[in-house]
Amino acid sequence: MQIWEIILIAFSLAMDALAVSVCKGLAGGKPSARGMILCGVWFGVFQAIMPLVGFACASIFSSYIKFITPWISFALLAFLGVKAIIEAIKERKCQTSCRLATYGAKEMALLAIATSIDALAVGVTFAFNGVSFALTTLNNIWLFILLIGVITLIVTAFGNLLGALVGRRLGDKFNFITALLGGIILCALAIKFLVTGIIEISVA
């Protein structure tokens, strides 16, 4: 996998957490450095941990199912992408989190887990696409989860600030656009993985 692909995936995965961060900012009513830091750290850490967990579990079995891995990667990413698009079209807006301006550990942990489940599935696709544990190659899981974590941290911290600045009306539109964009990117990557995987198997 290429670095640019991981960056696109990272931004796509961060969209759900971004929407929640915007809601937090909206609920707070004014910019808060504490809110930005807490959103960034909570969402960034969990978004980095989940792919590692999925990758570690899938790595055990990847060698046994090499020839169907393009289809597995396609199915996982396509499912996540279509799911995000459907939710965006249904205009799933901020609900409970919009009305909560608090940043308690229990609440933030639950939100971080809920918005990082998709990253677990993406971690599985890493194992099926030649990603390694070895630091001697750029195609390693440690670099990838670092990129995902840092990008999510920055995006969600900015989202929290944005929510506080722009107001509820623009926030709802922003959530819709980011959710839709994230779904489209995941679907595009799913098709790319399927096509390149089938070509590689055919050549082999």
CB–CB of 40/156 below 8 Å?
A: yes
Q: What is the pLDDT of residue 181?
A: 77
Please tell me the predicted confidence (pLDDT) of residue 97: 45
Which of 94, 107, 88 is CA-nearest to residue 39? Answer: 107
Token reading at 110? 């639950």
Predicted confidence at residue 152, as pLDDT, reads 97
- The domain in which residue 96 lies consists of 3-203
- What pLDDT was estimated at residue 60? 77
Gap between the terminal Cα atoms of the chain: 18
Q: Which residues contact 90 (CB under 8 A, 6 or more apart)?
A: none
Predicted local confidence at residue 66, as pLDDT: 64
Spans of the chain below 50 pLDDT: 96-99
Angle between helices 3-28 and 105-127 (to 10 degrees): 160
Can you tell me the distance from the alpha carbon of 81 to that of 165, in angstroms, rounded to the nearest whole number?
29
pLDDT of the residue at 143: 94
pLDDT for res 64: 67
Length of the chain: 204
Q: What is residue 94's predicted lDDT score, i.e. its pLDDT? A: 55
DSSP the chain: --HHHHHHHHHHHHHHHHHHHHHHHHHH-S--HHHHHHHHHHHHHHHHHHHHHHHHHHHTTGGGGGGGHHHHHHHHHHHHHHHHHHHHHTT----GGGG-----HHHHHHHHHHHHHHHHHHHHHHHTTT-BS-TTSSSBHHHHHHHHHHHHHHHHHHHHHHHHHH-HHHHHHHHHHHHHHHHHHHHHHHHHHHHHHHHHHHH-
How much is the pLDDT for 42? 96
Specify whether the CB–CB gap between 155 and 14 falls below 8 A: yes
* Overall number of domains in the chain: 1
pLDDT score of 138: 87
Interatomic CA distance for residues 57 and 54, integer angstroms: 5
Quick one: pLDDT at residue 96? 45
CA 50 to the chain's CA centroid? 10
